[in-house]
Amino acid sequence: MILVVGCNGMLGQELMALYGDAARGVDVDQIDITDLLSVQRVLMTLKPRVVINAAAYTDVDGCESKAETAMQVNGEGVGFLAMLCRELGAKLVQVSTDYVFDGSKGAPYEEYDPPSPLSVYGESKLAGEMNAALAHDHLIVRTQWLYGHAGKNFVETMLKLATDRKELSVVDDQIGSPTWTYDLAQALKALIEKNCTGIYHAANSGFVSWNGFAKEIFRLAGVEVTVNAMSTEQLGRPAPRPLYSTLDCARLIQDTGFTPQPWQEALKRYLELRPNK
């Protein structure tokens, strides 16, 4: 049995739909991953063979002012899951992020490039990676710029803003790969089926700025909006962001045969399947 921790989140719901009856899901009302006894009770009762941790504190700017909470959820909580997985002999699959890198490499990041997070969020997710490794059988999958039908995300934010504004400013100096939760879930399934371990990168192929992403959202949705360029510095958010943090997914493709689709194709399909809002 596969246990999805954080089953009500954007990725968690995608995983539950993908695995169907083969998966069990728990969320904050059934498990507190920052409490060892809570984690122990759930895992020892269910005895899963695979635990996918899709739970995280993902408010990047909020992490700056709530560093202790970020570290408890994204770091220490993963350690508790790893301890119990080790005891059960289960595989722990930990979802991580491009924010463990500082974005200064100037080329797509490979799995064993040295991490150097800029933000509290990035630091807490790196702590989670280190703690995940406490499980003998562990799989750490870094992804980026996630969007999906089951949660708040950049695509929905842009489309909502466009309902009453005909001009927007979006940063054009952060480069990454927008990734649909559907494709990430497929990548995780492929990695698990091949019994892969260690660190992998999984994101839709190709890369773009947030500004270019916004323009493509509006183009595909048939919405007329002027998208102006602005810098990260002009935006002035509390947490620093990596400016170029695309992920090299060659190892995923080589070891599983699964090739993530281009981000433009994924976005097109996402919009086609999007419920009317």
138 residue type, one letter: H
50-53, strands of its sheet edge to edge: 23-26, 2-5, 50-53, 91-97, 138-143, 198-201
- Give the whole-angstrom CA distance, residue 27 versus residue 33: 9
Tokens of 130: 């280190």
Q: Does domain 2-153+176-208+246-264 fall into CATH 3.40.50.720?
A: yes
Residues taking part in catalysis: 121
Provide Rg for the chain, Cα atoms.
Answer: 18
Q: How far is CA 219 from CA 17, 98, 216, in A?
A: 29, 27, 5
Q: What pLDDT was estimated at residue 276? A: 67
pLDDT per position in the chain (277 positions), as tens?
A: 999 999 999 999 999 999 999 999 999 999 999 999 999 999 999 999 999 999 999 999 999 999 999 999 999 999 999 999 999 999 999 999 999 999 999 999 999 999 999 999 999 999 999 999 999 999 999 999 999 998 889 999 999 999 999 999 999 999 999 999 999 999 999 999 999 999 999 999 999 999 999 999 999 999 999 999 999 999 888 999 999 999 999 999 999 999 999 999 999 999 999 876 5
Q: How far is CA 239 from CA 144, 175, 205, 221, in A?
A: 16, 16, 26, 30
Residue closest to 55 by CA, chosen among 121, 90, 87, 11 = 11
Its sign, for the CA torsion 276, 177, 61, 38, is positive
- Give the whole-angstrom CA distance, residue 50 versus residue 94: 11
Nearest-5° angle of CA 41, CA 127, CA 51?
Answer: 35
Q: What pLDDT was estimated at residue 78? A: 98
Q: What pLDDT was estimated at residue 151? A: 82
89 phi, psi to nearest 5 deg:
75, 25
Q: What pLDDT was estimated at residue 150? A: 83
Q: How far is CA 63 from CA 68, 85, 264, in A?
A: 8, 27, 30
Q: What pLDDT was estimated at residue 274? A: 87
Q: What pLDDT was estimated at residue 197? A: 97
